[in-house]
Amino acid sequence: MSNTENSIDMTRPLPDVQPWSRPFWEAAKNGELLVQHCMDCAANIFYPRKYCPECWSGNLDWIKSSGKAVVYSFSTAYDMVEPRFWEDLPYTIAFVDLPEGVRMMTRIVECDPEDISIGMEVKVTWRKLNDDFFLPYFRPVKS
Amino acid sequence: MSKSGIAIIGIGEVPTRIMPERTPWDILYDTCMDAVNDSGLDKNDIQGVITTSPQAQPRLTSELAFGKLPEELGLEGCRDCCIVNAGGAGTSNCLRLAGQYIESGVADAVLVNHVTVHSTISVPELIAFFGQAGVDLQWEYPFGTTYNIVMGLMANRFMHESGCSPLEMASVVTALRSWATLDPNSIFYGKPVPTPEMVLESSIINTPLHKRESNVLADGGCAMVVVSAERAKKLGKPAAYKLGESARYFSGTTVVRDSDKVTNGFKVTAKEAMAQAGIQKQDVSIWNCYLAYPLAHPIMAEALEVAPEGKGGQCFLEGRMSFGGDIPWSTIGDAPGRGHTGSGVSSAMYVETARQLMGKAGERQVKDCRYVYQNTAGGSGFNNIVTIWGREPNE
């Protein structure tokens, strides 16, 4: 770590992809939210691994998520984030539970942060980082 | 020697401050020499040196990892040295390794130490460092999370499930700062203790975390001299004897962490370590909890059964964990009270454990301190390590 402010990186970070998670990001480009699935023990896995963390099988595939989720917890940031995220403030980071039985970190968007609550129903929406990466954000399900 | 048969016989520490003019090597010299002098041993009696990695300082880490410290200090009897990195759990592992050095015959006396200097690193770079440390670079970091946000996520869920109020949560800071204001090594030494209302009046960093519920990054360091319990007893000086230990691993990333597993881990590790030490909950003189942020203190208080279930926050609000309360708790004020020195807060808490058992804690001295519960954790809470320390060895 240098001691100068000249080296501050303002570029948006891209996911540090592993070979076995590449299908997730490829599908994201088409607006599909995938969950890794073990063909031997039937575990749904998030985040994706090289081998199933339950049974160590390499016989892994993918299932398509409905894209629906429920907010498990959230925190809205107003300050003290990296300079590269300053322009987004305030923004809300959340853990959301998918009906496929896995939990993801995400952002909750398209609503006032003060309207977000634990247990809120949300649906996936995609944020383009560049031509290769779309991040799965979630927005409230409108009644 | 039994597997828990070590003792801390010397301690050294510098005040935690924001002092860029005080270099890491200033701190290393002062803390290590103080610890050795406090132990009554000669510098050349030190045969092993184990340093907790200064997580945010790669250059210093390399210097220490590659053996510079014994050379600087002229430790002519040194047989080996290394650094250990498990974040905030690093010092627990240093002490384990010190036990192994002693048990295997590599060393009779081991110097365990830590230093971190944050003040020479720019604020944006510190924020960037703590934005990435312990955060998954594929599934968490691209969304813009930080350590503070991770703690906010856990706090919001805990408050939702337990009914712990913002005022109760804020009172944890008041309790921790009540100890810190009396601690000459704290960055808040002599400073007014904020009321819970004042904590809530400070600006929000990220919900539900207020500025006064976060940590001030600072510079600090400390050192300990460790010998076998048998040797400590022969020396006849005040010492802190390690009597029991237990640990549980939870998860590297917060997104897959099961909160029930964490709470159960807090409970089980306490019970196992106390059983190994041959003591009961009521024997513990101080609950020296290292949790870095206020939010986990009520959870820990309930898991340790020093607070009734669902009443952890209330016990803090009632002042029971504050200086003068009936539950001596984190007597340097944990990171919110001490100032955050990276992996060094847990090092400082081990020094405090020894200081209390040696009867050297001054105004903060807990009367008739016989047994101390000490926990540490690394990263965003990937594990929980519990040790029990006493002022006498187990017979």
Q: Is residue B113 a part of any domain in this protein?
A: yes
For residue B208, say if its preceding peptide bond is cis, omega within 30 degrees of 0.
yes
Output the six-digit token pair for B55: 């997580």
Please state the φ and ψ torsions of residue B312, each to the nearest 5 degrees: -55, -50
- In this structure, the answer to whether residues A75 and A137 fall within a common structural domain is yes
Of A78, A118, A135, the CB nearest to B204: A78
Q: What is the pLDDT of residue B60?
A: 93
**A1 band by pLDDT with thresholds 50, 70 and 90:** very low
Whether the CB of A89 is below 8 Å from some CB of chain B: the reply is no
Domain assignment of residue B47, yes or no: yes
Mean pLDDT over B187-206 rounds to: 98
- pLDDT over 80 (residue B244): yes
A58/A127 same-domain check: no
Name which residue leads in pLDDT, A6 or B286: B286
Is B22 inside any structural domain?
Answer: yes
Tell me whether residue A2 is in a domain: no
- B50-64, B116-130, B234-248 — which one is most confidently predicted on average? B234-248
pLDDT of A56 > 90? The answer is yes
Let me know whether A142 and A76 are in one domain: yes
Please determine, for residue B4, whether its predicted confidence score (pLDDT) is greater than 70.
no
- DSSP state letters, chain A: --S-GGG---SPPPP---GGGHHHHHHHTTT--EEEEETTT--EESS--SS-TTT----EEEEE--SEEEEEEEEEE-S---GGGGGG-SEEEEEEE-TTS-EEEEEE-SS-GGG--TT-EEEEEEEESSSS-EEEEEEEPP-
Average pLDDT rounded to a whole number, residues B254-263: 92
The partner residues of B225 in beta bridges, in order of sequence, read B10, B111
Q: Does residue A102 sit in the same domain as residue A138?
A: yes
* Total domain count, chain B: 1
Give a yes or no: residue A9 inside a domain.
no
Same domain, A28 and A39: yes
> Prior bond to B350 cis, omega within 30?
no
Residue B33's domain spans which residues?
6-120+218-235
User: pLDDT tens digits for B348-373?
Assistant: 999 999 999 999 999 999 999 999 99
> Inter-chain contact A74–B156, Cβ cutoff 8 Å?
yes
pLDDT of residue A7: 61
Give, in degrees to the nearest 5, the angle at Cα B174 between B168 and B180: 150
Q: Is the pLDDT of residue A2 over 70?
A: no
B124 pLDDT tier (thresholds 50, 70, 90)? confident
Residues A49 and A96 in one domain: no
Asked if A36 is an interface residue toward chain B (Cβ–Cβ < 8 A), one would say no
Q: Express as a percent the part of chain A with pLDDT over 90.
A: 88
Q: Determine the pLDDT at residue A143.
A: 59
pLDDT of amino acid B117: 95
Within a domain: B203: no
Quick check: B395 pLDDT over 80?
A: no
Between B292 and B193, residue with greater pLDDT: B193
Q: What is the DSSP string of B342-386?
A: TTHHHHHHHHHHHHHHHT--GGGPPTT--EEEEEE--TTT-EEEE
* CB-based contact B207 A74, cutoff 8 Å: yes
Mean pLDDT of chain B: 95
Q: Within this chain, do residues A88 and A45 fall inside the same structural domain, yes or no? A: no
Is A97 in the same domain as A134? yes
pLDDT band at A5 (very low <50, low <70, confident <90, very high): very low
| Closest CB from A76, A77, A118 relative to B160 | A118
Sort strands B371-376 and B286-289 into parallel, antiparallel or unpaired: parallel
Closest to B392 in 3D by CA, of B366, B362, B369, B374: B369
Place of tokens 């210097």: B63
pLDDT at res. B133: 80
The CATH number that applies at residue B17 is 3.40.47.10
Kindly state whether residue A122 falls inside one of the protein's structural domains: yes
Q: In whole angstroms, how large is the CA radius of gyration of chain B?
A: 20
**Domain holding A73: CATH number?**
2.40.50.840
As given in the structure block, the two tokens for residue B274 are 């106390």
Looking at the domain assignment, is residue A7 inside a domain? Answer: no
Average pLDDT estimate for A26-48:
98
**CA–CA min distance A116, chain B (Å):** 11
In a domain, B125, yes or no: no
Average of per-residue pLDDT across A100-106: 97
Angle made by CA atoms B198, A90, B208, in degrees to the nearest 5: 35
Cα→Cα distances A3→A65, A68, B307, Å = 45, 44, 45
Q: Report whether pLDDT(A3) > 80.
A: no
- Measure the CA–CA gap between A97 and B226, rounded to whole angstroms: 47
Specify the number of domains making up chain A: 2
In the structure, what pLDDT confidence band is assigned to residue B57 with cuts at 50, 70 and 90? confident
Q: Are B172 and B298 in contact (CB under 8 A)?
A: yes
Residue B316 falls within a domain, yes or no? no
**Whether residue A60 is found in the same domain as residue A70:** no
The alpha carbons of chain A give a radius of gyration, in whole angstroms, of 17
- Mean pLDDT for A63-84 is 95
Is the pLDDT assigned to residue B78 strictly greater than 50?
A: yes
Which of A33, A64, A95 corresponds to the end of one domain?
A64
**Boundaries of domain holding A79:** 66-143
Q: Quick check: A82 and B128 CB within 8 A?
A: yes
Residues A143 and A124 in one domain: yes
